[in-house]
Amino acid sequence: MSPVRVRISRDNVKSEFVRLVNEISGQNVLNCYQCGRCSAGCPLTFAMRLLPNQVIRLVQLGLEEEALSTNTPWVCASCMTCYARCPRGVDLAKVMEALRAIRLRPGVADRVRLKDIPEDALARLPQQGLVSGLRKLTG
Protein backbone atom coordinates (compact mmCIF):
# COMPACT_ATOMS: atom_id res chain seq x y z
CA MET A 1 0.00 0.00 0.00
CA SER A 2 1.31 3.42 -0.85
CA PRO A 3 1.70 5.80 2.08
CA VAL A 4 -1.50 7.53 3.11
CA ARG A 5 -1.21 11.20 3.98
CA VAL A 6 -3.46 11.69 6.98
CA ARG A 7 -4.72 14.90 8.40
CA ILE A 8 -5.74 14.02 11.93
CA SER A 9 -8.63 16.06 13.10
CA ARG A 10 -11.47 15.92 15.56
CA ASP A 11 -13.86 15.66 12.61
CA ASN A 12 -12.11 12.52 11.34
CA VAL A 13 -12.09 10.75 14.69
CA LYS A 14 -15.70 11.69 15.35
CA SER A 15 -16.84 11.03 11.81
CA GLU A 16 -20.05 9.29 10.79
CA PHE A 17 -17.95 6.38 9.53
CA VAL A 18 -16.39 5.74 12.94
CA ARG A 19 -19.79 6.02 14.59
CA LEU A 20 -21.28 3.56 12.10
CA VAL A 21 -18.51 0.97 12.51
CA ASN A 22 -18.89 1.20 16.29
CA GLU A 23 -22.66 0.91 16.08
CA ILE A 24 -22.72 -2.10 13.77
CA SER A 25 -19.88 -3.95 15.48
CA GLY A 26 -20.85 -3.09 19.04
CA GLN A 27 -17.21 -2.25 19.64
CA ASN A 28 -15.37 0.99 20.34
CA VAL A 29 -12.53 1.12 17.84
CA LEU A 30 -10.93 3.94 19.80
CA ASN A 31 -10.16 1.44 22.57
CA CYS A 32 -7.45 -0.06 20.37
CA TYR A 33 -3.99 1.20 21.27
CA GLN A 34 -2.18 -0.48 18.40
CA CYS A 35 -0.21 -3.10 20.29
CA GLY A 36 -0.37 -5.40 17.25
CA ARG A 37 -1.14 -8.60 19.13
CA CYS A 38 -4.14 -9.24 16.91
CA SER A 39 -2.02 -9.18 13.77
CA ALA A 40 0.73 -11.26 15.37
CA GLY A 41 -1.76 -14.06 16.02
CA CYS A 42 -3.94 -13.81 12.92
CA PRO A 43 -3.53 -16.94 10.80
CA LEU A 44 -4.47 -15.20 7.56
CA THR A 45 -2.18 -12.18 7.39
CA PHE A 46 -0.24 -13.82 4.55
CA ALA A 47 -3.23 -13.09 2.30
CA MET A 48 -4.07 -9.64 3.67
CA ARG A 49 -2.89 -6.46 2.02
CA LEU A 50 -3.15 -4.67 5.37
CA LEU A 51 -2.74 -6.19 8.82
CA PRO A 52 -5.82 -6.24 11.07
CA ASN A 53 -4.38 -3.58 13.39
CA GLN A 54 -3.62 -1.37 10.39
CA VAL A 55 -7.23 -1.61 9.30
CA ILE A 56 -8.51 -0.65 12.72
CA ARG A 57 -6.13 2.32 12.68
CA LEU A 58 -7.62 3.47 9.39
CA VAL A 59 -11.06 3.21 10.96
CA GLN A 60 -9.94 5.14 14.04
CA LEU A 61 -8.79 7.94 11.77
CA GLY A 62 -12.04 7.97 9.84
CA LEU A 63 -10.33 6.94 6.59
CA GLU A 64 -13.37 5.24 5.12
CA GLU A 65 -12.21 4.75 1.57
CA GLU A 66 -8.89 3.21 2.63
CA ALA A 67 -10.51 0.94 5.23
CA LEU A 68 -13.20 -0.27 2.86
CA SER A 69 -10.97 -0.82 -0.15
CA THR A 70 -8.48 -3.24 1.41
CA ASN A 71 -9.08 -6.99 1.18
CA THR A 72 -8.52 -7.64 4.90
CA PRO A 73 -12.20 -7.79 5.96
CA TRP A 74 -12.89 -10.26 3.14
CA VAL A 75 -9.96 -12.51 4.02
CA CYS A 76 -10.84 -12.51 7.73
CA ALA A 77 -12.30 -15.88 8.70
CA SER A 78 -13.85 -14.63 11.97
CA CYS A 79 -11.72 -17.12 13.89
CA MET A 80 -11.57 -14.65 16.82
CA THR A 81 -7.91 -15.31 17.60
CA CYS A 82 -7.44 -11.54 17.60
CA TYR A 83 -10.23 -11.07 20.13
CA ALA A 84 -8.72 -13.70 22.42
CA ARG A 85 -5.37 -11.91 22.31
CA CYS A 86 -6.54 -8.30 22.50
CA PRO A 87 -5.66 -6.68 25.84
CA ARG A 88 -8.32 -4.05 25.20
CA GLY A 89 -11.15 -6.48 24.52
CA VAL A 90 -11.71 -5.27 20.96
CA ASP A 91 -13.55 -7.90 18.92
CA LEU A 92 -11.90 -7.33 15.56
CA ALA A 93 -13.95 -10.04 13.87
CA LYS A 94 -17.02 -7.91 14.54
CA VAL A 95 -15.25 -4.82 13.22
CA MET A 96 -14.40 -6.72 10.03
CA GLU A 97 -18.01 -7.84 9.75
CA ALA A 98 -19.12 -4.23 10.11
CA LEU A 99 -16.77 -3.15 7.32
CA ARG A 100 -18.15 -5.87 5.05
CA ALA A 101 -21.71 -4.79 5.85
CA ILE A 102 -20.96 -1.12 5.13
CA ARG A 103 -19.29 -2.06 1.86
CA LEU A 104 -22.22 -4.22 0.79
CA ARG A 105 -24.94 -1.77 1.70
CA PRO A 106 -24.18 1.60 0.13
CA GLY A 107 -27.15 3.87 0.51
CA VAL A 108 -29.00 1.42 2.71
CA ALA A 109 -27.26 1.96 6.02
CA ASP A 110 -29.42 3.50 8.71
CA ARG A 111 -32.61 3.24 6.68
CA VAL A 112 -34.34 1.83 9.73
CA ARG A 113 -33.79 3.51 13.06
CA LEU A 114 -35.50 2.02 16.06
CA LYS A 115 -35.84 5.40 17.72
CA ASP A 116 -37.70 6.76 14.69
CA ILE A 117 -40.47 4.15 14.95
CA PRO A 118 -43.41 5.48 17.00
CA GLU A 119 -44.07 3.58 20.21
CA ASP A 120 -47.59 2.56 19.23
CA ALA A 121 -46.27 1.15 15.93
CA LEU A 122 -43.57 -0.73 17.83
CA ALA A 123 -46.24 -2.38 19.94
CA ARG A 124 -48.23 -3.43 16.86
CA LEU A 125 -45.45 -4.55 14.52
CA PRO A 126 -44.68 -8.28 14.34
CA GLN A 127 -41.54 -8.74 16.39
CA GLN A 128 -39.97 -11.17 13.95
CA GLY A 129 -40.45 -8.79 11.05
CA LEU A 130 -39.10 -5.92 13.11
CA VAL A 131 -35.92 -7.76 14.10
CA SER A 132 -35.44 -9.03 10.57
CA GLY A 133 -35.88 -5.54 9.11
CA LEU A 134 -33.45 -4.03 11.57
CA ARG A 135 -30.82 -6.67 10.81
CA LYS A 136 -31.13 -6.36 7.07
CA LEU A 137 -31.68 -2.65 6.67
CA THR A 138 -29.71 -1.09 9.46
CA GLY A 139 -26.09 -0.44 8.62
Nearest approach, Cβ of residue 2 and ligand SF4 (Å)? 22
Q: Are 50 and 72 in contact (CB under 8 A)?
A: yes
Among residues 115, 118, 103, 108, the alpha carbon closest in space to that of 138 is found at 108
**Which is nearer to ligand SF4, 13 or 122 (by Cβ)?**
13
Which of the stretches 2-10, 78-86, 100-108, 111-119 binds ligand SF4 when contact is defined by CB under 6 A? 78-86
Q: Which of 4, 6, 13, 33 binds ligand SF4 (CB under 6 A)?
A: 33
CA distance from start to end of the chain = 27
Q: Is 67 in the site for ligand SF4 (CB under 6 A)?
A: no
Q: Could you give the angle at the alpha carbon of 130 between the alpha carbons of 129 and 133, nearest 5°?
A: 80
Contact 83, 93 (CB under 8 A): yes
Q: Does 94 bind ligand SF4 (CB under 6 A)?
A: no
Interaction between residue 98 and ligand SF4 (CB under 6 A): no
Is 44 an interacting residue with respect to ligand SF4 (CB under 6 A)? yes
Report how far residue 138's alpha carbon sits from residue 114's, in angstroms, rounded to the nearest whole number: 9
Q: State the residues that interact with ligand SF4 by CB under 6 A.
A: 32-38, 41-42, 44, 52-53, 56, 76-82, 85-88, 90, 92-93, 96
